[in-house]
Structures are given as structure tokens and as C-alpha cells.
Amino acid sequence: MEKVISKNRKAWHDYHIEEAYEAGIVLTGTEVKSIRNSRVNLKDSYARVEGSELYLYNMHISPYDPGNRYNHDPLRVRKLLMHKLEIGRLAGKTQEKGFALIPLKIYLTRGLVKIELGLARGKKQYDKRRDIAEKDSKREMEREFRQKQKIE
């Protein structure tokens, strides 16, 4: 049973997602409480392999109000937990031109905070326009289909 806390919808708009990976994340106590209250923002965040470790940058976790002096820096760099072989594989793939590691969603599984990373390649402007046009045409076809069913 997994409870999705936050999704990065902009990632699906700006990138072609090739593969998805699950990773654990190292957090402090007040960060976990803020995440459970859905006070997290994945927009503009990314992951990077440094040495043999994986780090997450620019993920904003709001300070926990009752946490006072035990609170954390909202934009601090957070370590991600994956198997060493997976990190090595990701390091090789992100070295290729145009690939990046983008967080897609953050969720709770059996009380643990997990993050889903996507191996992504950036979209061009015309790709984004084509996706929007396809979505609009699909929506229009569904609308017409529903109207025909009402008539019958």
C-alpha cells in the first residue's frame, strides 16, 4: 500500500521519461513530519551521481511548524539510497548526452518515505506542442463519443 504525497507533473511535460527507479531518502525527523503533511515540492528538483553516491538537489520541504529549533534547511541536499550496482548503472546512463535524473513522485510505503526517479531526456518545444495537440484531440474525441451515446 503506497500513499502518494506529491507528484512532479511538470516532469512529464518537460521530459521524455525512459525508465523509473525507486530510491529511499535520508531525512531528519521534522522533514518526515512535513512530508506526511504534504508540505513538499518537487518542482525544479533533480538528482545527481557523485562518486558512488546519489544526491537530490532543490527539493523543497517546508519547515515543520512545531519543530522550532530542530527544523531543517528547506532546500538542503539530501542523500538517496539505492544499491551500488543501480547507482553505477545510473551514473553511466546520465553521462550520455541529454539524460538527467528527475524525481517523479514522493510517497510513503509501509511508513518509509520513498522517491521515484525517472531517467529523462529533455523535450524540444515542438514535442511539447505535439503532446498538447494530441491530448486536446483525444479529449475532443471522447467528448463527441459521450454525446453520441447520450443521443442513442
CATH 3.30.300.210 fits 2-123, yes or no: no
Angle (nearest 5°) at CA 28 between 32 and 38:
20
User: Do 13 and 31 form a contact (C-beta atoms < 8 A)?
Assistant: no
The predicted structure's pLDDT at residue 47? 92
Q: Return the percentage of the chain with pLDDT > 70, whole number.
A: 100
Angle (nearest 5°) at CA 11 between 94 and 105:
90
The predicted structure's pLDDT at residue 54? 93
How far is 13 from 33, CA to CA, in rounded Å?
29
Domain ranges of the chain: 2-123
pLDDT confidence tier of residue 104, bands split at 50, 70 and 90? very high
3-state helix, strand, coil in the chain (%, to 5): 40, 40, 25
pLDDT of residue 150 exceeding 80 = no
Cell of 130: 505535439
pTM of the model: 0.78
Considering only residues 89 and 71, tell me which one the structure prediction assigns the higher pLDDT: 89
The predicted structure's pLDDT at residue 55? 95
The predicted structure's pLDDT at residue 64? 84
Cell of 34: 512535513
| Mean pLDDT, the chain, whole residue set | 88
